[in-house]
């Protein structure tokens, strides 16, 4: 009985249980997919999240209605996130911020290493961008009730912790497309 209620609880949160007899790399990819899907579900401001296996990092992609200045964004994000990590007593291995323009749309990429990134840091990064660029950001309207947001945050925490101990050797990308989340791996 407990097992079924646990399974139902996972299903309600959008999680998929992978049987033990499935090869390890498929389980890892499934965990990676669950993580990226949960991040996009929780944070509608994100256009895409990419797990970059070569760098053991996550690349967060934001879209803007116009070209954006990378120096002003770095001036906001870098000191805040470095101070956050100082308080948490964690070292940052990968922290890259880059911008580019595509057909009058600004694209911001923030790359963070898996070892030190946390759900709270992702939330802080998004809150800083919202406070400073909400009028310019392209995002979906939030649609989750408050209690579901907390569940998604917990799922993200668990999946990040799990991913830190895995050897995921596939790149996985989750994209937002008209309210849906599409996931690809290679």
Mean pLDDT of 34-55: 92
Closest of 81, 86, 87 to residue 110, by C-alpha: 81
Lowest mean pLDDT among 29-38, 74-83, 93-102, 109-118: 29-38
Q: Give phi and psi for 2, each to the nearest 5.
A: -60, -40
CA–CA dist 148, 41 (Å, integer):
10
Q: What is the pLDDT of residue 147?
A: 79
Mean pLDDT of 20-39: 66
Q: Binning pLDDT at 50, 70 and 90, where does residue 99 land? A: very high
Mean pLDDT of 153-173: 84
Model pTM greater than 0.85? no
């Amino acid at each position: 009985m407990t097992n079924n209620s646990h399974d139902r609880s996972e299903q309600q949160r959008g999680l998929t249980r992978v049987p033990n007899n499935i090869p390890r790399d498929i389980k890892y990819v499934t965990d990676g997919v669950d993580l990226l899907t949960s991040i996009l579900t929780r944070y509608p401001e994100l256009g895409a999240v990419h797990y970059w296996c070569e760098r053991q990092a996550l690349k967060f992609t934001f879209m803007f209605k116009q070209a954006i200045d990378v120096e002003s964004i770095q001036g906001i994000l870098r000191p805040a996130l470095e101070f956050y990590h100082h308080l948490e007593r964690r070292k940052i291995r990968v922290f890259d911020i880059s911008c580019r323009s595509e057909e009058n749309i600004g694209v911001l990429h923030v790359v963070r290493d898996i070892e030190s990134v946390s759900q709270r840091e992702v939330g802080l990064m998004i809150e800083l961008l919202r406070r400073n660029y909400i009028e310019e950001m392209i995002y979906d309207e939030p649609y989750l009730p408050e209690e579901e947001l907390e569940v998604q945050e917990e799922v993200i925490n668990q999946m990040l912790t799990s991913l830190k101990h895995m050897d995921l050797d596939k790149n996985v990308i989750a994209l937002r497309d008209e309210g849906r989340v599409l996931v690809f791996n290679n």
